[in-house]
Chain A
Amino acid sequence: MPLVEMKRITKRFSGVVANSNVDFSVEYGEVHALLGENGAGKSTLMNILYGLYHPDSGEIYIDGVKRVFRSPSDAILSGVGMVHQHFMLVETQTVWENMILGMKMPFVLPKKQIIKKIAELSEKYNLKVNPLSNVWQLSIGEQQRAAVLQMLYRNAKVLILDEPTAVLTPQESKELFVTIRNMTALGHSVIFISHKMNEVMNETDRVTVLRKGETAGTVNTKSPDTSQELLSEMMMGRKVSFDINKPKRDLGKVVFDVNSICASNDRGGAALKNISFRIRKSEIFGVAGVAGNGQLELCEAIYGLRVAVSGYVKINEKDLTNASARALMDCGVHYIPADRRSTGMVTALDVKSNSILTDYWIPPISSGNSINWKEAGNQAKSIIEQFNVSTPSVNTAVKNLSGGNLQKLMLGRELSNSPEVLIVMHPTWGLDVSATRYIRERIISASETGTAVLLISEDIEELLALSDRLAIIFKGEFMGIIADPKSMPIEKIGLMMAGTHISEVL
Chain B
Amino acid sequence: MLRVEKRIDASKWMNYVIPIASLFMALIGGAALLGTQGISPLDAYCRIIKAAFGGSYEFSETIVKATPIAISSFAVMLCFSMLIWNIGVEGQAFMGALAAVAAVRYCHSDNQFYMLCTAAAFAIMAGGLWAMIAGFLRSKWNVNEIISTLMLNYIAIRILEYFVYGPWRDPSSLGFPITTRFPPSARLPQLFGSRVHVGIILAVFLAFAAWYILSKTRLGYEIRVIGENPKAARYSGMSYMKNVLVVMFISGAIGGLTGMTEVTGLHGRLQASFAAKYGYTAIIVAWLSHLQPFVILLASVLFGALLVGGEALQIELGLTLSTVEILQGLVLFFVLGGDFFRNYRLKFTWRTDK
Point out residues on A near B: beta carbons under 8 Å.
52-54, 70-71, 73, 77, 103-104, 155, 304-305, 324-329, 335, 337, 342-349, 353, 357-358, 360-361, 366, 369-371, 373
Contacts and interface: CB of A to CB of B under 8 A. Distances in A.
B347 A155 contact: no
Chain A CB within 10 A, most for which of B5, B218, B232, B238? B232
A370 B5 contact: no
Given A324-B237, A370-B218, A371-B221, A357 B9 contact: no
Interface stretch (B107-115, B194-202, B223-231): B223-231
Contacts of A357: 225, 232, 235-236
The B interface, classified by DSSP as helix, strand, loop or mixed, is mixed
Contact of B237 (A329, A337, A348, A353): A329
B3 interface: yes
Nearest to B353: A104
B3 A326 contact: no
Interface of B: 1, 3, 5, 8-9, 216-219, 221, 224-225, 228-229, 231-232, 234-239, 347, 351-354
Given A71-B5, A104-B352, A326 B235 contact: no
A159 B231 CA distance: 32
Contacts of A304: 237
7 contacts: A344-B232, A346-B225, A346-B228, A353-B225, A357-B225, A371-B216, A373-B216
B218 A343 contact: no
B236 A358 contact: yes
A242 to B, nearest CB: 32
B351 A369 contact: no
Contacts of A346: 224-225, 228-229, 232
Given A71-B5, A346-B229, A369 B218 contact: yes
Contacts of A342: 229, 231-232
B235 A371 contact: no
B254 to A, nearest CB: 18
Contacts of A53: 8-9
Given A53-B9, A305-B234, A347 B229 contact: yes
A328 B234 CA distance: 13
A349 B225 contact: yes
Contacts of B237: 304, 324-329
Sorted nearest first, the 10 A-B pairs with minimum C-beta distance are: A326-B237, A325-B237, A104-B353, A348-B228, A346-B229, A357-B236, A346-B228, A346-B232, A343-B235, A71-B5
A222 B57 CA distance: 84
A493 B225 CA distance: 41
Contacts of B239: 324, 326
A254 B101 CA distance: 65
A370 B218 CA distance: 5
B216 A353 contact: no
Nearest to A47: B8
Contact of A325 (B218, B229, B234): B234
Contact of A348 (B218, B229, B235, B347): B229
Given A369-B219, A371-B221, 19 more contacts: A71-B5, A71-B347, A73-B3, A77-B351, A103-B353, A104-B353, A305-B234, A324-B237, A325-B236, A326-B236, A326-B237, A344-B235, A346-B225, A346-B232, A349-B228, A357-B225, A366-B218, A370-B216, A371-B218
A337 B235 contact: yes
A54 B3 CA distance: 19
Contacts of B221: 353, 360, 371
A346 B223 CA distance: 12
Nearest to B225: A346
Chain B CB within 10 A, most for which of A77, A325, A346, A370? A346
